[in-house]
Structure 1
Amino acid sequence: MKTRNKKKLPMKVDDLESFLKEKFEKNPDLVFSKYEQQNGKKVGVCFIGYQVDTDKVEEFLLQPLLSMEEKWTNKEIINRTPLNNVQTSHSLEEVLQKLLVGEVFIYVEGEKEVLSYLLLNKEKRSLEKAETESLVLGPKIGFTESIVTNMNIVRWRIKSTDLVLEDYTIGKLNPRDIRLIYLKSIANEEDVNTMRQRIKELDVDEVEDSAVLSQYLADSQSNIFPSFQSTELPDRFTYAITKGKVGILMENSPTGIIAPANLFSFIESTEDLYMNWYAGTFLRLLRFIAMFFTVIVTPLYVAIITYQYSIVPTQLLISIGQSRAAVPFPPLIEALILEFLIELLREAGARLPTKVGQTMGIVGGIVIGQAAVAAGLTSNILIIVVAMSALASYTSPSYLLGTTIRIIRFPLILLAGLFGLIGIMFGLCFLIIHLLRLTSLGRSYLIPLYPLQLQDFNKVFYRTPFKFEYKRAKSYLPRSLYRFSKKDAGQKRDIDE
């Protein structure tokens, strides 16, 4: 801090060079070039080599600078340089920060301002198909690690002057650029202000990824359910923006954040929009049933076989008894062992290379399942139950929600093994109470179910034909509720013969 207080602008170019080389003593890529005119006036050009496009520096900055015959001044350099993205810095702190993000500085000796140009030489991957969220219908491209590319995709999909992209920088030690994105004519002002305030109040050294950022910005750190949606699909991101939600993009992160979110938004998919309303409704209801099934089916098996076996039909009970005759463990331990093996296979398949992971999941499941039955560690019926439960969990479009459901299943199995159906009811009641207390950006996590908003059920639980979709979801209190006129939507537009 003492060095910064001693050295202030204006200053000599030699002093600026000494200051920067002292700060970047462990960085051999710092380039500081000095040039001098016949009248003795000096100018310094500084940048970090690997971060900038050196060809552009040579063509657009150095050549015009060295060809100037008149006296060097900031005004003349700006006029003679064929670049329009010039910025000025008035302190050495600004110079240090901007050097780290890839800007090129020109300092004319004696001037009170330092000129800077952004000439980045960023390495980025091209647009590719999304990996974690797959669609059969609809756009296939996903976000990349470049925030500029991602903003271009959003602008390309939402061609509106109402689209706002607010610029913020987070992280003191390792600054990252983020964009707060919303439609000013639709998004709820309270939601925008809440998110803006949380971003400004975030005081951390660094934020590694948007997934980490969403945890910092969440309403509660003790929430087992995801507070905000994360997506790598631009169509899902922009669709949420047009519904009145708020989005966030972050530099070096291929996923966007959508807020506020509710439990049901993690089960929705934009693919529901790309097919007829009855097909979309069927698939959405199928996902809801699958999510409930994967939570309840294994605990229900454990509870019934342990305590409430009298409710099982006689023929089925005989089959279950024959299947478990050689199993030395009680149903609770048997279920926990098999669920643990399934989780191991799932995690191994996710971490291994794609082709090897697929083989591991299929072959490993068959081999281990057959071996476990042959060794008497588990029964055939439990293998079917656990396999159906695992299969149902894959229907969730959100990986975050799928992971949460996998975690919830284990305490429910324990409660079922200890207390039977009463334990399951206790666990489900506790889960519902937890969900009722949760909020996302200050809004209820179970909306429109709680508080009850019947008019928004067609946005969540089922789909209706597009002519009835003339309203946005009232649950999020958008500024503009109507998407189009109800009267115009009901008119027949066929050409009369």
Structure 2
Amino acid sequence: MFFKKKKFTKEKAEKQAKNENLIPTSRELMSAEFKKRLQHSADILENEVGNSGITLFSIGNLIDKTMLHRDIIEPIISQSFDSIQVIMEHLSVGEIRKTDHMDTVVQSVLDGSVVIYLEGNLFVLLAHIPARLGRALSFALNESQVVGPQVAFTESLMINLGLIRNYIKDSNLSVENLVVGSRSNKSVAIVSLNGIASQQMVGIVRKRIQNLKIDAILDSSQLAQLIEDNSLTIFPQLALTERPDRICDWLLKGKLAIIVDGSSLVIGSPQSFVEFFQTLEDSNVNWQIGSFLRLLRVSALFLSVFFTAIYVACLTFHYEVIPQTLLITLTESRARVPFPPIIEAFLLEFVIELLREAGARLPTKVGQTMGIVGGIVIGTAAVQAGFTSNILIIIIALAALGSFVTPSYTMGNVIRILRFPLIILAGFWGFYGIMYGFCFLLIHLLRQSSLGSPFLAPFYPPRFEDWKDSLIRLPFSVTYKRPDQTRPEDEYKYDYKKAKDHN
């Protein structure tokens, strides 16, 4: 008897909650409930349309006023209706649907819809006419290239999807919409190419996004940190780009694109370590030039990370590896410097990072002037005051240039930070410390993955076929296979035998 009573009480509560979520049949009750759920915000609009008996509810800042008057108000202002279905037949709005739940009404209004309410009806219409909030298409500011398209993504999800479809006009292009954030309710789109992308990988990304229990996502960079394999590592495992042509290139290789509404950066996954040093421009120039540029970037990586540490190790422990003529110059340069090499290096590295951060935070024109003038003035004054040597300034400048060569901003920040622990190791243990640091980084990278794919692919595990488009880029005639890292369903881009036939 007790269990039956408890069950009855639960069913009654569920029924009452359901009734409270239904659309009120009275206009006054509908207005009160709508405003209550939106906290009586000042930007709520409630308009009665002539003598039609129809009331429109919306948030004024989120709807297109031109479409509201042209496509909704004008067709119904001089008519009378007795049902919601008849109203729907008179409207030419692209996206319109019925609902009888207040929760759906509130969420649709926050997404840019207008509620069309006819008193006495159990259903309302939701006409989606969002205002186009965002900037126009522009050049890519952070990923510039000389050869290739120049357009960049914007903060609009629909515009970004349109840019991708403009490059890949394929019916197999799949777009799956999800909502993330209990308060932000951000629209997130997973883009892939059916028949190429691994469905297992699509399922992994979908599950990770759906399992997020968070109140808000404001940018795609935040989402990338939340769904990557290891959030504790300093290395990024998912790439961010503002270039639609680069995203399309990844999609054609079997990768996935994740677009967050309101963000101008799109996530590409999975990624390998070496891909952070590649650009699409490498494919737009001759393969010899593209290979040279990639090798130059990887060389700049080692120069930026290890050059200052090698200087500290040589001057602290290993004078014998320095040629005698250069040793004399070094001795004369450091004759007035009162600090040991490790303190000297840390001092200059700290100054460089201060100048870089100041230049990034100041307005563009002022920031450029600050970086150039500040570097010259502080560098010259530091040498004349005896705080550092001329040779270390050259080394620090080359190391800073090496970090700027990296196409990825997130990986460039990693390179900036890695220098400091290596300088400490070199100052205490010399070359042995540098080797300990290098081995630690190598082992750490070997343990990382991106959506389950090895982060050091194609070198570990060795996939020799993918070496053709990694540190170097061989001609298109031999790079006819998609990378194994993405586990593509269709392994081949084209029939290489037919591609070689020019007749």
TM-score class normalised by the smaller sequence: over 0.9
1:475 corresponding residue in structure 2:
485
1:422-477: per-residue Cα shift (whole Å, max 9, x none)?
Answer: 11111111111110111110111101111111110011111111111211112321
3-state DSSP of counterpart to 1:464 = coil
| Aligned partner of 1:76 among 74, 80, 86 | 86
1:233 corresponding residue in structure 2:
243
| Aligned partner of 1:46 among 57, 61, 70 | 57
Q: Assess if the C-alpha contact under 8 Å between 1:171 and 1:206 holds in 2.
A: yes
2:151 corresponding residue in structure 1:
141
Structure-to-structure mapping, 1:382-397, within 5 angstroms: 382-397=392-407
- Unaligned 5+ runs, structure 1: none
| Aligned partner of 2:370 among 351, 360, 364 | 360
| Aligned partner of 2:229 among 219, 224, 247 | 219
| Aligned partner of 1:258 among 262, 265, 268 | 268
3-state DSSP of counterpart to 1:420 = helix
Q: Assess if the C-alpha contact under 8 Å between 1:416 and 1:424 holds in 2.
A: yes
TM-score, normalised to structure 2, is 0.94
Shift, 1:168, TM fit: 1.1
1:207 corresponding residue in structure 2:
217
- Unaligned 5+ runs, structure 2: 1-12
Question: How far apart are the structure 2 equivalents of 1:486 and 1:164?
Answer: 27
3-state DSSP of counterpart to 2:187 = strand
1:288-330: per-residue Cα shift (whole Å, max 9, x none)?
Answer: 1111111110001001100011111111111101100000000
Are residue 66 (structure 1) and residue 110 (structure 2) matched? no
Q: Assess if the C-alpha contact under 8 Å between 1:302 and 1:335 holds in 2.
A: yes
Question: How far apart are the structure 1 equivalents of 2:162 and 2:414?
Answer: 33
Structure-to-structure mapping, 1:389-408, within 5 angstroms: 389-408=399-418
Question: How far apart are the structure 1 equivalents of 2:24 and 2:402?
Answer: 67
Question: How far apart are the structure 2 equivalents of 1:346 and 1:373?
Answer: 20
Structure-to-structure mapping, 1:145-184, within 5 angstroms: 145-184=155-194
Shift, 1:7, TM fit: 5.2
Question: How far apart are the structure 1 equivalents of 2:469 and 2:207?
Answer: 29
Are residue 11 (structure 1) and residue 25 (structure 2) matched? yes
Change (3 A) 1:184 1:359: same
Shift, 1:149, TM fit: 1.0
Question: How far apart are the structure 2 equivalents of 1:448 and 1:419?
Answer: 33
Letter in 2 for 1:33: N
Question: How far apart are the structure 1 equivalents of 2:172 and 2:39?
Answer: 46
| Aligned partner of 2:35 among 21, 41, 54 | 21
Shift, 1:3, TM fit: 8.6
Question: How far apart are the structure 1 equivalents of 2:74 and 2:365?
Answer: 52
How many residues are paired up?
Answer: 489
Change (3 A) 1:7 1:155: closer
1:130-187: per-residue Cα shift (whole Å, max 9, x none)?
Answer: 1111111111111111111111100101110110111111111111111100101101
Shift, 1:35, TM fit: 5.5
Question: How far apart are the structure 2 equivalents of 1:334 and 1:231?
Answer: 37
Structure-to-structure mapping, 1:363-442, within 5 angstroms: 363-442=373-452
Aligned identity (percent) is 40
Change (3 A) 1:19 1:312: same
1:489 corresponding residue in structure 2:
499
Question: How far apart are the structure 2 equivalents of 1:25 and 1:192?
Answer: 38
Q: Assess if the C-alpha contact under 8 Å between 2:312 and 2:423 holds in 1.
A: yes
Change (3 A) 1:12 1:61: same
| Aligned partner of 1:198 among 187, 208, 211 | 208
3-state DSSP of counterpart to 2:259 = strand
Shift, 1:353, TM fit: 1.5
Moved more, 20-29 or 208-217: 20-29
Question: How far apart are the structure 1 equivalents of 2:90 and 2:404?
Answer: 60
1:11-34: per-residue Cα shift (whole Å, max 9, x none)?
Answer: 212111011122234411111234
1:195-232: per-residue Cα shift (whole Å, max 9, x none)?
Answer: 01111111211101001110111111101001100000
1:390-444: per-residue Cα shift (whole Å, max 9, x none)?
Answer: 1111111101101001111100000100111111111111111110111110111
Q: Assess if the C-alpha contact under 8 Å between 2:21 and 2:103 holds in 1.
A: no
Are residue 30 (structure 1) and residue 44 (structure 2) matched? yes
Letter in 2 for 1:14: E
Q: Assess if the C-alpha contact under 8 Å between 1:143 and 1:234 holds in 2.
A: yes
TM-score, normalised to structure 1, is 0.95
Letter in 2 for 1:23: R
Stretches (4+) displaced over 3 A: 1-7, 34-38
Shift, 1:253, TM fit: 0.4
Q: Assess if the C-alpha contact under 8 Å between 2:454 and 2:485 holds in 1.
A: no
